[in-house]
Each structure stands twice: as structure tokens, then as C-alpha cells.
């Protein structure tokens, strides 16, 4: 065999191995995101979001961005930067749903996850199933590193229910995060920055399988923010004030006032919750709990401070700002659906919402028809927080009455 032919075969073999390392096109693999489209939208159609401990009352902040670069021939990578407070809890990372509606999926066709990482320090990679994170630790370095994480290396983290073990039939999210600082492990504040590319699930079978939805449709969606100019400027009535600094997490939104337009010209119930502080730019968290049947004794008990109130309908806007609007739990649920864990099983298109920075307020509008009001009068309690946690409700006791 000529030297030229040998060199050509060697180059072809190197190219073949390189393509396999990229993961998305290799047999048995499915690319979650290679970031080559230049945005934060992954294969299921939903976006990567930054999760840090500021969502649960902490002081850390995280930022995601698409950056140019990567290991050739890559053109774009996911950049994750954060300032970690070091206090308990302290963490920051990037997470993305595995299903286009946020439901759980079956990963039985795969054996692990493969990705490229670059940065400095220890990070954790894995999945969230139910209320548990199943993670494996890896070390990132100054140069790009290709990492394969077999599912067998995943272990539950944090407060783990007895008997919890990893299973490929129930994960809903994939995530990359700094290790959590837990009680007794506080450390110095620090700034971290790392990059991720070519995230793919891998297996040993033929073809290119994809995750299979393993439950009924999830309740995640992306809805646009309502332009402030389209929200009525007049007709608001004051439903009462709420004491400042009475929330259960001082670092999260603190409701101080509730206003409403019971029915605008297009049949929308509008509610505006004024906050003590300026609203966060990265996320929004509002619930509107309604007693619509005139019977205060039935329904689901509200679970924030105003626990004596019982509701029949719940409007939820827990979402993260993305390019197309806000992504998260947006919709309407009955009390029995909420009790079963379905916070927003439907009705997202009947809900409108906005962040009014000038007024320091969250604004939510919902079509009265979608609320299925059973009596001329109905009672309302609103709650605010982050896109993951409750913080304060208004009124703090009792309920506001509307017609």
C-alpha cells in the first residue's frame, strides 16, 4: 500500500472517530443540543434556563449565553457564568427539559450522556426525576474535554427519599451545575465560568432513537409577555395592602398591595401585585387562588401563610424569561388537579402576564370564562415568589371579594 493511501486512510479513520465523538450523528445517539443554531432552544423545543440559589432565597446569580467558539468544527457553545455567594445553599447551573411539554421521558434506549466541557473546577452533570437530582461529578479543565457519563454512575443528591435509585424511565430534566454548598459546607464567594458543547445521549444500538414520553403531557409552555401598553391603565380597584417584609424568604419578592380590574372590556380579570422591591428580570412567579363556588369550606387549602383559605381554581405563572417570552408553568388548574401535582395542565392561552418594572409589580390577566365562575361573587388570594418558590401572599389572611 502506498504511503499516500496509508495517510488517506489514517485521515479518514481520524475523521470517523471525531464524528463519533460529536455524538449526535453516531448510531444509537440522540443530540440534545450542539448549540450550532446559535440559540438556547434544545432538541425538544424548550430552552435552557439558568437555575441558581437566588430562586430559593439565596444570593447567587447565574447567566446563560451562546458564545462563539468550541472545538473545531463547532461554531457555538453554551456559556454558563455565575457569582456564587458561598452561603447555604449556593449553586448555579443550566437545565433543560427533555420533553417538549416538560413531562418525564423514558431513556431506556440509552446508556449514558456525552458532552464536551471547558472551564475550571468541579461540576455535576445529570438528570432530575420527580423531586430528586441524580448526578455525577466531573472535573473541567482549561482545554476542551470530551466526557462520557454512564447512567450507572449517577447517584441521588441532597435530601433523598428512602429507596430512591436512578431509573431511566422517569427523568424530566438534564442539568449541568456547580456542586451545592450544603449546611456546614459554606465556602468563600467566587465567580465561576464554564462552557458546554455537543450534549448527546448515547447507546449501543443501531439507528438514532429519541427519548419517549413516559407519562401524560407535561404542563410546561412558552408564552409571550403581554405588552404593558395593552393592559388597562384605568379601572383598577384597591383590594388591600400587605405588610412589608412578612414573606417566608426575605430575598424573594414581597407583596405589599393587591389591585384588580374585575372585568375589562374583553372579559378579562386583571390582578396587579405591587412588590416591595424591583421585580427580577430573569424570572416571574405569581399564583392567583380563587374560591369560585361560594362555599369557603370546600376546595384545596392554600399552602402559604394564608392557610385557612380554600380554593377551587388556581392560576399559575411560574416562568423564566427566554427569547420567545416566558417558559414554565403557565395555566389554570382545578383544586383536584393541583392536589395531584398538576399546577398548570391547561389554559395557558387564557392567561396574560407582564412584569411592570416602573410600578414594581407583577400583572396577571385571565379570561373570566376560563375560570368557570359559579357565583356572582368570588374570592381571591394572590401569591408571589420566584419561578420555583413561594414567598408571600396578599391578603395575608382572609381573601379579597370580587364580582
In a domain, 189, yes or no: yes
Co-location of 227 and 174 in the same domain: no
In a domain, 13, yes or no: no
Element (DSSP H or E) covering residue 322? strand 313-322
pLDDT band at 43 (very low <50, low <70, confident <90, very high): very high
Q: Answer for the pair 95, 320: CB distance below 8 angstroms, yes or no.
A: no
In a domain, 3, yes or no: no
Residue 184 dihedral angles phi and psi, to the nearest 5°: 90, -5
DSSP state, residue 380: E
**Does 335 score more than 60 pLDDT?**
yes
Q: Answer for the pair 184, 5: CB distance below 8 angstroms, yes or no.
A: no
**Does 401 score more than 80 pLDDT?**
yes
Instruction: Supply the pLDDT for residue 383.
Output: 96
pLDDT band at 12 (very low <50, low <70, confident <90, very high): very low
In a domain, 8, yes or no: no
In a domain, 2, yes or no: no
Question: How are beta strands 237-241 and 212-213 bridged, if at all?
Answer: unpaired
Instruction: Supply the pLDDT for residue 1.
Output: 44
Co-location of 33 and 156 in the same domain: yes
Co-location of 232 and 209 in the same domain: no
CA distance 51 to 63: 9
Co-location of 237 and 342 in the same domain: yes
pLDDT band at 24 (very low <50, low <70, confident <90, very high): very low
Buried b / exposed e over 112-122, threshold 16 CB at 10 Å, is bbbbbbbbeee
**Does 46 score more than 90 pLDDT?**
yes
- Greater confidence (15 vs 400) lies with 400
Give the CATH number for residue 368: 2.60.40
Q: Answer for the pair 46, 319: CB distance below 8 angstroms, yes or no.
A: no
pLDDT band at 120 (very low <50, low <70, confident <90, very high): confident
CA distance 80 to 167: 28
- Burial class, 233, CB count within 10 angstroms (exposed 0-12 / middle 13-18 / buried 19+): exposed
269 DSSP β-pair partners: 366
Number of domains present in the structure of the chain: 2
In a domain, 14, yes or no: no
**Does 5 score more than 50 pLDDT?**
no
Amino acid at each position: 500500500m502506498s504511503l499516500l493511501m496509508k495517510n488517506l486512510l489514517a485521515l479518514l479513520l481520524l475523521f470517523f472517530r471525531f464524528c463519533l465523538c460529536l455524538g449526535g450523528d453516531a448510531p444509537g445517539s440522540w443530540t440534545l443540543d450542539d448549540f450550532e443554531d446559535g440559540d438556547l432552544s434544545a432538541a425538544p423545543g424548550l430552552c435552557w434556563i439558568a437555575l441558581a440559589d437566588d430562586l430559593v432565597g439565596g444570593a447567587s446569580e447565574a447567566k446563560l449565553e451562546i458564545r462563539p467558539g468550541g472545538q473545531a468544527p463547532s461554531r457555538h457553545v453554551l456559556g454558563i457564568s455565575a457569582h456564587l455567594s458561598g452561603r447555604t445553599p449556593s449553586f448555579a447551573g443550566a437545565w433543560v427539559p427533555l420533553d417538549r411539554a416538560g413531562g418525564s421521558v423514558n431513556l431506556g434506549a440509552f446508556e449514558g450522556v456525552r458532552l464536551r466541557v471547558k472551564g475550571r473546577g468541579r461540576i455535576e452533570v445529570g438528570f432530575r426525576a420527580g423531586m430528586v437530582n441524580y448526578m455525577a461529578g466531573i472535573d473541567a479543565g482549561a482545554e476542551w474535554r470530551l466526557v462520557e457519563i454512564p447512567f450507572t454512575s449517577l447517584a441521588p443528591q441532597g435530601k433523598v427519599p428512602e429507596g430512591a435509585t436512578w431509573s431511566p424511565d422517569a427523568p424530566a430534566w438534564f442539568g449541568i451545575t456547580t456542586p451545592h454548598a450544603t449546611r456546614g459546607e459554606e465556602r468563600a464567594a467566587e465567580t465561576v465560568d464554564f462552557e458546554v458543547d455537543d450534549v448527546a445521549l448515547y447507546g449501543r444500538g443501531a439507528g438514532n432513537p429519541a427519548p419517549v414520553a413516559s407519562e401524560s403531557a407535561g404542563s410546561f409552555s412558552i408564552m409571550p409577555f403581554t405588552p404593558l401598553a395593552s393592559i388597562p391603565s384605568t379601572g383598577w380597584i384597591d383590594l388591600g395592602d400587605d405588610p412589608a417584609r412578612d414573606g417566608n424568604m426575605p430575598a424573594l419578592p414581597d407583596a405589599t398591595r393587591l389591585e384588580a380590574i374585575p372585568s375589562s372590556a374583553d372579559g378579562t380579570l386583571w390582578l396587579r401585585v405591587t412588590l416591595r422591591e424591583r421585580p427580577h428580570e430573569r424570572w416571574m412567579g405569581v399564583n392567583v387562588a380563587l374560591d369560585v363556588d361560594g362555599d369557603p369550606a370546600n376546595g384545596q387549602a392554600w399552602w402559604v401563610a394564608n392557610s385557612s383559605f380554600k380554593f377551587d381554581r388556581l392560576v399559575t405563572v411560574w416562568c423564566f424569561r427566554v427569547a420567545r417570552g416566558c417558559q414554565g408553568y403557565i395555566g389554570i388548574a382545578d383544586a383536584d388537579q393541583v392536589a395531584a401535582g398538576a399546577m398548570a395542565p391547561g389554559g395557558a392561552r387564557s392567561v396574560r402576564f407582564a412584569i411592570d418594572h416602573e410600578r414594581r409589580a407583577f400583572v396577571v390577566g385571565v379570561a373570566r370564562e376560563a375560570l368557570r365562575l359559579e357565583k356572582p361573587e368570588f374570592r381571591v388570594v394572590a401569591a408571589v415568589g420566584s419561578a420555583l418558590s413561594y414567598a408571600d401572599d396578599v391578603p395575608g389572611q382572609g381573601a379579597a371579594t370580587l364580582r
